[in-house]
Amino acid sequence: MPEQQLPTATIVDAVTIACRAPSLHNSQPWRWVATESTIELYADPDRTIRAADSTGREALISCGAVLDHFRVAMAAAGWATSVRRLPEPSDPRHIASIEFSPAPEVSAEHRRRADAILLRRTDRLPLNAPDDEEFDDILGSPSEHVTVQIDTVAEDQRDLLAETSHLAEALRLYDTEYHSELRWWTSDFVADGGIPRSALVSAAESDRVGVGRMFPVTSQPERRDHVAVDRAGIVVLCTADDTAESVLRCGEALSALLLDATATGMATCTVTHITEIPEGRDVVAAAISTAGIPQVLVRVGRAPALDAAPPPTPRRPVSEVLEIRRGAPC
């Protein structure tokens, strides 16, 4: 139990920040409930991307990411968190139950990681190679998610991975439900979710990124044309199995990796279309040294220093994702 009640304003602020977490097509498949003594995180089945994520695995990864973002936001606000993951076996939608206690201090690192939440963007444009030392540092950062293994794709495997990326798209060429869903989540009328046109790439820009999902292309002027080919490092997050807890912790580890990269000034792009198909998972597993099931890939690199930061993608109002139940602290 928490040592003292948590102000509602603190909860609202932390949930608002946490919901900047990445999710498949920016679907935001989560909802929160604040009770008198806990915050409960639930999956929102109405926000599941059914064609690309028929099992709900990626929605669970997204919930793991928002859970970690929430803990980071709470730490920066001066609160330590204790998490029970998947507390109700009979209800797979109940992702986590979170309790609180005042933290002994708020460090500069706590604030730096919370700031990274607001700075992070998904960068689908070609990237320069990351600094080797900083890249190694984020891969070697200590993590509580010991069940999640992080590996990188070697340079001599990049072409194979690019071919697999194209194969994953080819296998869905005639999947009308998949493409219909993709068009819906990238349309202009999705005001509080989805991927805005400004965050998509043109055909020429897409051609310079070997490993990336093919979204509907835009006709905007060519950007970053001086980066002839994408040289981002490719990181793979793996788990020993596909159990719900392993997948959830993978999402938490993904959040930590993205925030570490952002805090050091690197750009990132989460890539999941390859691991959505069994053939893609098999190729990725063969391309890395870690034994495990590839869950998600991340491109990590450097955007040109003079590039303007893209605007943040939209999020649902906090009133739509957070329920304050009677008896919750004020």
Chain segment 120-145, per-residue pLDDT in tens: 999 999 999 999 998 998 888 767 77
Q: Which residues pair with residue 236 across a beta bridge?
A: 151, 297
Q: Verify that 155 and 292 share a domain, yes or no.
A: yes
Residue 330 lies in a domain: no
Residue 2: what pLDDT?
Answer: 46
Residue 192 lies in a domain: yes
Q: Verify that 156 and 296 share a domain, yes or no.
A: yes
| Residue 320 predicted with pLDDT over 50 | yes
Residue 246 lies in a domain: yes
Domain count, the chain: 2
Q: Verify that 117 and 136 share a domain, yes or no.
A: no
Residue 198 lies in a domain: yes
Question: pLDDT digits over 202-255, tens only?
Answer: 999 999 999 999 999 888 788 998 999 999 999 999 999 999 999 999 999 999
Q: Cα angle at 322 between 317 and 326, to 5 degrees? A: 135
Q: Verify that 283 and 150 share a domain, yes or no.
A: yes
Q: Verify that 153 and 292 share a domain, yes or no.
A: yes
Task: Return the biggest CA–CA distance within the chain.
Answer: 58
Structure tokens given for 219: 């006709």
Q: Verify that 161 and 275 share a domain, yes or no.
A: yes
Residue 328: what pLDDT?
Answer: 52
**DSSP label of 139:** H
Strand order in the sheet with 94-102: 79-85, 94-102, 39-43, 30-34, 322-324
**Phi, psi values for residue 149, rounded to 5°:** -105, 140
| Residue 3 predicted with pLDDT over 70 | no
Cβ–Cβ < 8 Å for 14, 318: no
Spell out the residues 6+ positions from residue 291 whose beta carbon is closer than 8 angstroms to its own.
238
Residue length, the chain?
330
Q: What is the CATH number of the domain that holds 55?
A: 3.40.109.10
pLDDT class of 4 with cuts at 50, 70, 90: low
Q: Which of 82-86, 88-92, 190-194 has the lowest mean pLDDT?
A: 190-194
Determine the Cα–Cα distance for residues 222 and 230; give it in Å rounded to an integer.
Answer: 15
Determine the Cα–Cα distance for residues 160 and 25; give it in Å rounded to an integer.
Answer: 25
Residue identified by tokens 């220093």 is 305
Residue 126 lies in a domain: no
Residue 198: what pLDDT?
Answer: 86
Q: Verify that 193 and 290 share a domain, yes or no.
A: yes
Residue 229 lies in a domain: yes
Q: Is 228 exposed, middle or buried (0-12, 13-18, 19+ CB in 10 A)?
A: exposed
| Residue 330 predicted with pLDDT over 70 | no
Cβ–Cβ < 8 Å for 227, 127: yes
Question: pLDDT digits over 257-281, tens only?
Answer: 999 999 999 999 999 999 999 999 9
Residue 1: what pLDDT?
Answer: 44
Distance from the Cα of residue 76 to its chain's centroid = 20
**Phi, psi values for residue 177, rounded to 5°:** -65, -40
Residue 141: what pLDDT?
Answer: 74
Spell out the residues 6+ positions from residue 52 whose beta carbon is closer than 8 angstroms to its own.
24, 25, 58, 178, 181, 182, 272, 273, 276
In the chain, what percentage of residues exceed pLDDT 70? 96
The amino acid that residue 120 corresponds to is R
Determine the Cα–Cα distance for residues 121 and 275; give it in Å rounded to an integer.
Answer: 21
SS3 for 95? strand
In the chain, what percentage of residues exceed pLDDT 90? 82
Q: Which of 98-102, 172-176, 306-310 has the lowest mean pLDDT?
A: 306-310
pLDDT class of 167 with cuts at 50, 70, 90: very high
Which residue from 247, 194, 210, 327 is spatially nearest to 67, judged by alpha carbons?
247
Bridge pairing between strands 39-43 and 79-85: unpaired
Residue 318 lies in a domain: yes
Determine the Cα–Cα distance for residues 191 and 133; give it in Å rounded to an integer.
Answer: 40
Q: Verify that 258 and 154 share a domain, yes or no.
A: yes
What range does the domain containing 285 cover?
A: 132-301
CA distances from residue 293 to 160, 163, 237, 243, 274 in whole angstroms, order as listed:
18, 20, 8, 11, 12
Residue 237 lies in a domain: yes
Q: Verify that 160 and 296 share a domain, yes or no.
A: yes
Q: Verify that 234 and 263 share a domain, yes or no.
A: yes
Q: Verify that 142 and 266 share a domain, yes or no.
A: yes
Q: Verify that 62 and 209 share a domain, yes or no.
A: no
Residue 228: what pLDDT?
Answer: 93
**DSSP label of 149:** E
Residue 144: what pLDDT?
Answer: 73
